[in-house]
């Protein structure tokens, strides 16, 4: 992986892992010494699950190319430079299918990791919210803000949730852990996107290499 990849991964992981460490410390203090060994194993498993989720989020952000603060600060970058498409089904079947596939792991992983996400309406709302954030940031770079991407991503999150439903019927509650706080997955998505938006500056890195 290139230096740009490690840099962008760090912008996603560092803010989220700091939040997770704080949540783990808070959780341990609230529970005290009760079942401490069992709790440590559960927290370790939850940590790994969240890391997998964050790596997936990073991969989505890499593919979609979200707008950055550095884009806004560049004098040559114009608002809406990539255009806005509000006409449904105008992006072609291939693009629609790829956007569905891209968000399917989102619906699956959130339901797999967090019990409160095991609801089709929650999958729809969180998938739509994640996609909406991506589309909004693309107003500030040269990517197109597209209603088809929003619709396809939302469908993908719901399909991913339905795949988890089938998985759950077959395998049951395997590797189940407790949440560290309410709406934990939303907190990580916001932290990952916020970290990328604020911290990732590829132009600075390019100028360093040049």
- pLDDT tens digit sequence for 33-81: 555 554 677 788 888 999 999 999 999 999 998 888 888 887 565 666 6
pLDDT value at residue 106: 97
Residue 101 CB neighbour total at 10 angstroms? 13
Residue 52 belongs to domain spanning: 3-209
User: Is the separation of the CB atoms in 147 and 88 below 8 Å?
Assistant: yes
User: Is the separation of the CB atoms in 203 and 144 below 8 Å?
Assistant: no
Say how many domains are in the chain: 1
**Residue 144 — left, alpha, or beta (φ > 0 → left; ψ -120 to 50 → alpha)?**
beta
pLDDT value at residue 38: 46
pLDDT value at residue 144: 75
Q: Which residue from 202, 189, 48 is spatially nearest to 131, judged by alpha carbons?
A: 189
Across the range 83-111, mean pLDDT stands at 86
pLDDT value at residue 113: 93
CA angle 3, 7, 11 (to 5 degrees): 170
Q: Is the pLDDT of residue 18 over 50?
A: yes
pLDDT value at residue 206: 65
pLDDT value at residue 182: 86
């Amino acid at each position: 992986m290139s230096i740009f990849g490690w840099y962008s991964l760090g912008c996603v992981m560092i803010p989220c892992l700091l939040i997770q460490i704080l949540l783990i410390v808070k959780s341990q203090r609230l529970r005290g010494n009760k079942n401490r060994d069992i709790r440590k194993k559960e927290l370790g498993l939850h940590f790994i699950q969240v890391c997998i989720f964050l790596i997936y989020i990073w991969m989505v952000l890499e593919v979609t190319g979200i707008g950055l603060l550095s884009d806004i600060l560049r004098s040559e970058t114009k608002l809406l430079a990539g255009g806005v498409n509000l006409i449904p089904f105008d992006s072609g079947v291939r693009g629609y299918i790829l956007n569905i596939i891209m968000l399917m792991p989102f619906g699956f992983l959130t339901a797999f990791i967090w019990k409160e996400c095991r609801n089709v309406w929650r999958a729809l709302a969180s998938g739509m919210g994640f996609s909406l954030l991506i589309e909004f940031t693309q107003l500030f770079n040269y990517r197109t803000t597209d209603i088809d991407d929003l619709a396809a991503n939302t469908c993908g999150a719901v399909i991913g949730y339905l795949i988890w439903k089938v998985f759950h019927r077959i395998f049951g509650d395997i590797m189940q852990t407790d949440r560290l706080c309410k709406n934990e997955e939303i907190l990580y998505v916001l932290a990952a996107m916020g970290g990328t938006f604020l911290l990732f500056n590829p132009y600075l890195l390019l100028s360093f290499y040049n």
